[in-house]
Chains A and B, each alone.
Chain A
């Protein structure tokens, strides 16, 4: 994957006017999330971690975002979204049922637990789920496609993009209170915004400049 914003670290702004106390508190708590699992069983946990690893494959050269831990925490605290499609189970139950169903499907089709499948085979299983082709009593009436769209993608993607590492990766300014921004025109950057390394350019210049983005 291209590193568009080399060296940019949104956390460097933590002690600047871009972060207020409420933001620091919220992000500090996020960065010290309970490693889990408190909600999932150890079998479910293995499947969940493998699944998260395929929905958001993370590079080996940086500490991974603890996606599964965020999901475990959300289910443990029962923080709900405010709606549930009639055919879906309540979120925690839905996750438990679906992880068991996904794992059983892997064992049935590939003779291995889901988390031991090679990544390409895990992707095949995920695609089957996304296409509503995983069925059976373990799904407890939930369409697997709906579970994939409404729970897997929702919870995994929300977890990943709630982490400063993901913010730095996409060059987002991150928290911005009370300072906000001044330059609103196209191709104008405030000094506290990420520098993009244009593919044809040297990454080094951007990397050097991004060290001063605070």
Chain B
């Protein structure tokens, strides 16, 4: 016996899970929405996506290699996800340099300045998105008309999103029922035939990705169901109170970034609670804040803000929603 044996503590066998596998599962889950975005917005969507992914990965590499002087971890796939999600959250005609600025804010500020993957309190892609949104509001809200629709409306190049139509309309005291005629049908909303950020238009494609992630146990149902349910519930309450002033819940959940946010952004492991109970509270509060911003706030859309606000509460939620510890409950003595 002249060989050196490895001596380490148990366990001596490990599951097949890896950070890389999780990240690539998320990428796979985003494929349907990506394909829909190409179908709807064509080359523009591809352009934005490639620039965002490339610049995100590059920033991560440069910062890790030259500023932090650590081994770059771009292979883990997380920077690709950030880039892709950032692209999904902007219009397909955004100027290239704005995309790069967004990537820099997402990776450099929101992720690396906190210590990289796992340490960032806020979802990097959303930080990048919100930064772009407040810095370049015009560019961020001029939405190209989807190619499919463009054949019918030949002269239009950009259009308002359903949510901004509603926001403007309600502000000018037009009744909700009247606005409905100017809006895409539910079917269009569900399949994605509307203007908007490139990745958020098709609820169906996002749902497919979500089912895949739940199947692969990358996410659980708690956050998406709680968040979408809460949007429906709270907007439903308002709609029930005054259907002329507030839009119906179906419209609220199918528009804007509700599906993208609920399935891919709020469920980001790093910035969401640990326990099912915490996840449900987190999801419900995101839904509530989303509705409050949409209905009472200055912006037509509130998902990004709602998620970022709740990201800040995650440590608190985790503190109060611990798993039930074994042996603490009262025992039935035999």
Question: Do A and B make up one complex?
Answer: no
